[in-house]
Structure 1
Amino acid sequence: MAACVLRPGDAARLPELTDSKVLTAKARDRVYDRVVQRAVDYSVIVIPAAEVDLFGIHVMNLEGMRRAVSALRNTPGYVLTDGFRVSGLPAPSVPVIKGDKAVACVAAASVLAKVTRDRIMGDLHDVHPHYGFDVHKGYSTTDHSAALDTHGPSPVHRWSYANVATAAAAHRVRPPHPVVLTVAALENPSVPIRALGPHVGNNERSAAGTAAKSRGGARIS
């Protein structure tokens, strides 16, 4: 997750700047270097997989935005967030739908975050080469799913996700940290759910407010 403060007029000075997902890897690297060079201020923070597994991806997306803004050297006068309204920021904020395509500073933050994440995945490939992290960057591709089926999940996987929980169950391995399974994992018939502790928490669907009623997540440790 990242936050970025650009100079006035930098949108015109960074012609390649757009949503990081539509840029090639080489273009992202070029834009990354230009943003780091020109930005008035920026910060990049990393959310550990253990926190995502315990609190849910939506909750940690919002928390990541808070941490990124708080990590700036100077508190900005206002904050533009990508898509979601975020409470608890140190300045007034406005959510912008598809902000990474519409607002230069949001696009810059998305590039900083994406390039940082891809570089981390490249480093993880050196430690866990049989998963192909350097190619699929952790996304649920056919090759990644095949590697999970063959080897089971690694300590760096998000064990609350349905595909990882399924592979863990098949290999009879337990997560290295507490996990609250996602709704998708709870509803997946191939995941044999066994709540090993008394705690039942919220999963990210109820945290995001998209469920008609609150749904629990089974905690496994």
Structure 2
Amino acid sequence: MDEWVAEVLRGQILAGEFGPGARLREAALTDRLAVSRGTVRAALWRLAQEGLLEKIPNKGYAVMSVSADAMMELSTLRHALEALAARIVASDPTPARKAAVLAAFERICEAVRQRDRAAAIEADFRLHLTIIEASGHRQLREHYRLIEGQIRLYHWLAEEIMPLEDHVTMHEELVAAILLGDAPRAARLAEEHSTRYGMAMWQVLKRRDEERAMIAPRAMLASAARI
């Protein structure tokens, strides 16, 4: 049952129903989902292990906050894992591996043809997941699963930093390198893609962090003036 509750809450968090920093209260979730408090607690713990929630002492759980620095740490880890996976898959491009990667890329192309941005963002990430899974590297897959949810927390930024067509153009060479069995090139392209994407997100978040830092003192001064 806690797996079902975790799945429901995970979907709501990734859909933005619970924004960054939002508190998830056990009592309210117990009533809303009609499950036991222990079940809710187990589900919240599971999501915390995935990096979607953070445990706040004496206050329970809250959705993980997003920041430029946290995103950059996540991005550097992500591109290291994705580069390794691309190298492994391209070093032995079996028919099954090539078919899986090509099918995942075709889903991106179809989403772009349909002008469906949400589907394109999801298909884009699914391509990376496909390469991770196709690597057959158990430890690599397990480490990637630990950050998968956190990566998804930043997907809303894709609309601001990436034109729709880039979901296709940014992956064409990577997919071609894998299909041709060019492992060094595949690894380099995977790392370059994640690095470029991560840097663009970092710049957006850095601006927002700086804007919040400027607004906070003003709000405090305004509040003090009213006292």
- What range describes the TM-score normalised by the shorter chain of this pair? under 0.3
Task: Tell me: higher relative CO, structure 1 or 2? Use CA pairs within 8 A at least 6 residues apart.
Answer: 2
TM-score by length of 1: 0.25
TM-score by length of 2: 0.24
Q: Which has the larger radius of gyration?
A: 2
Higher helix share: 2
